[in-house]
Structure 1
Amino acid sequence: MQRGMGLAPDAYTVQSVLGACVLSVDVYAHALLRQLGGHDDILINSLVDLYGKCGALELARQVSYQMPEWDITLWNVAILTLDNQGCMRESLELFDRMTRVENVVPNAITFLVVLSACKHVGMVEEGRRYFEMMVSKCRIRPRIEHYGCMVDILARAGFIEEALDVVSGMNCRPDAIIWRSLLDACCK
């Protein structure tokens, strides 16, 4: 189309090409899975991530179900995939299932994804609860990204003083993103 006719693709054309790529990868990946015995963690995690980024949630689910036991990476990829596709509440439900039903201990990446989901949906109480769980129960030292999510969650909801308290209690220097979140909230 581009070479022979000199036409530039539009959004619908690109979407069709991505869909074809997903289907091509799907056939190839499933052949690889059969060849490897069906349980290669790295391949399955990569496929779930790829399908999630392409918006193929059902394919991501199908591939993830091939794992008899999910490792923390697959949980993180699955939660992130739902979050990235706008299914924030589902991603938080999956996190709750991971921690409460499956008894999997989350890591710093898991909490970053969960706090980000809370930020996008404006779930202040849940964000506070997850941050507290991260620090107290899981003994994970917050990084700048975790603080950034908490500041954004609080600032967007109008809890400017509490957001400032988070900034003053950080174990690192606030970056431009944190200050921008606070300034944006003050302007609103």
Structure 2
Amino acid sequence: MIATTSGRMPVGTWITAALLALVALLGAGPGIANASATTPAQPGWVDVTDAPSGVTVALPGEADPVEVPFGRAYAPDGADVAFAVVDVPTIPGLGLDTVLDSVGPGLGVTVVESQETTVDGRDALDAVVAVDREDAQGTALVRAVLDDGHVIVLATRATDASDETARALHQRLLAGLRFA
């Protein structure tokens, strides 16, 4: 059973909603890396900050916030990367892998592979997901990070799980994540 808080929507729905919004923003088309969350924006990339959470991610272009269920998503025009910040209550012991495995299939998201990790001491999950929905289909490389009151979801569109170009781009996206 997925944890709920005060009769609200299950936490997994928040995370999956953000993931689906990112995939839709990326227009998902037909491996996983660890990175520190302290690297400043690389040349040619710009810092985009989610004002309510203070989370900053370096992206390959400016991006305005797009409202998604329970949060905001950011995707530069024409880019294969995006991120979202979902406002959720912190629930100790709730694993991101369990959430995606439990909620994802009902929403057209299948976890192909996943690995638990940490980012600056925060619980995180790296995953390759397949999306098969009427409005979006394809593969995405994803990192979800639990932060106090937020889940940060970073996503990169890939042709498949072994897409080395997408993995390199995803590594660059992950390196640009910074917390307030």
The interval holding the TM-score normalised by the smaller chain is under 0.3
Decide which structure has greater helix share: 1
Scaled by the length of structure 2, what TM-score is found? 0.23
Decide which structure has greater strand share: 2
Scaled by the length of structure 1, what TM-score is found? 0.23
Higher relative contact order by CA 8 Å / sep ≥ 6: 1 or 2?
2
Q: Decide which structure has the larger Cα Rg and report it.
A: 1
